[in-house]
Structure 1
């Protein structure tokens, strides 16, 4: 009595959009993090690490870049709805995405989160800060510019 088993091989048809989003998000996060290190060092040194009960600029930068990678995957999902997606259109979409992230995460969520964890860097609610807006626009623009190039290489 012979036993046969069928094996089905499934090949991925994904073109690496989510991976490209993560990489583009990291690139944008590093650019924004560099700007923050110069213009808003307290955010990297205290605010971001204290969200996770950590301390120090390296922890803040690392967490910031990890957030940027995850948010880059969200950008990839949004970018996938745009066809065709030129680099210019991707940059514009990235800038708009950065503004939305600023409103939702920096202005609304971050002050509530920092208050909930008892952070010494608890900003007012809402946390409307022009420098933070510029940083989020830089994140979106850089991630938007990087995304099509990274996607082509994956």
Structure 2
């Protein structure tokens, strides 16, 4: 009895231009989201909570911004990797499709990171004011979702524009 093994070819050509678009879009998108965190969301998220995830005692606004911008770049690169999946690849190349994916990515990152990961991470590092798990509260979760969508728009649009010659 012979067995046959098949493997799917998942190799995708992502150019350096597309990786740079994801990183730059993530950096740019993190700026308005960071301002939203500073001036709209309950303080002291950017200056105390974000640094606390890395064991930095606050207030440490500069560290909070640096970490937030780093997260933005990493999530921008993650977006580029995720949209290589077949159902998303073509959609991500058009501006209209990119805007739809930005909304979806903003919602997914809110649920995954703000609702699930952040309270667990803060609890694990012993932050005394860690939010409850899951971290769902109104209006904070809605504002976080809006911030993540605002963040994702430059990521998705710059990625889509990286295909224009």
TMscore range, shorter length: 0.7 to 0.9
Deviation at 1:91, TM superposition (A): 1.6
Q: What's 1:52 paired with? A: 54
| C-alpha contact (below 8 Å) 1:115/1:122 kept by paired residues | yes
Larger radius of gyration: 1
Paired positions, count: 142
Please list the CA deviations of residues 71-125 of structure 1 after superposition, one character each: whole Å capped at 9, or x if unmatched: 1011112334422611121121111011111111110010010011111331111
Relative to structure 1, is the Cα distance of residues 101 and 13 closer, same or farther in structure 2, using a 3 angstrom cutoff? closer
Deviation at 1:53, TM superposition (A): 1.2
| C-alpha contact (below 8 Å) 1:79/1:90 kept by paired residues | no
Coordinate RMSD, CA, aligned: 2.2
| C-alpha contact (below 8 Å) 2:21/2:155 kept by paired residues | no
Query: Which stretch of structure 1 is more off in the superposition, 136-145 or 76-85?
Result: 76-85
Q: Which residues of structure 1 form unaligned runs of 5+?
A: 1-11
Structure 1 Cα separation of the partners of residues 148 and 34 of structure 2: 10
TM-score relative to the length of structure 1: 0.82
Q: Which residues of structure 2 form unaligned runs of 5+?
A: 1-12
Relative to structure 1, is the Cα distance of residues 52 and 153 closer, same or farther in structure 2, using a 3 angstrom cutoff? farther
**Consecutive aligned runs of 4 or more in structure 1 exceeding 6 Å deviation:** none
TM-score relative to the length of structure 2: 0.77
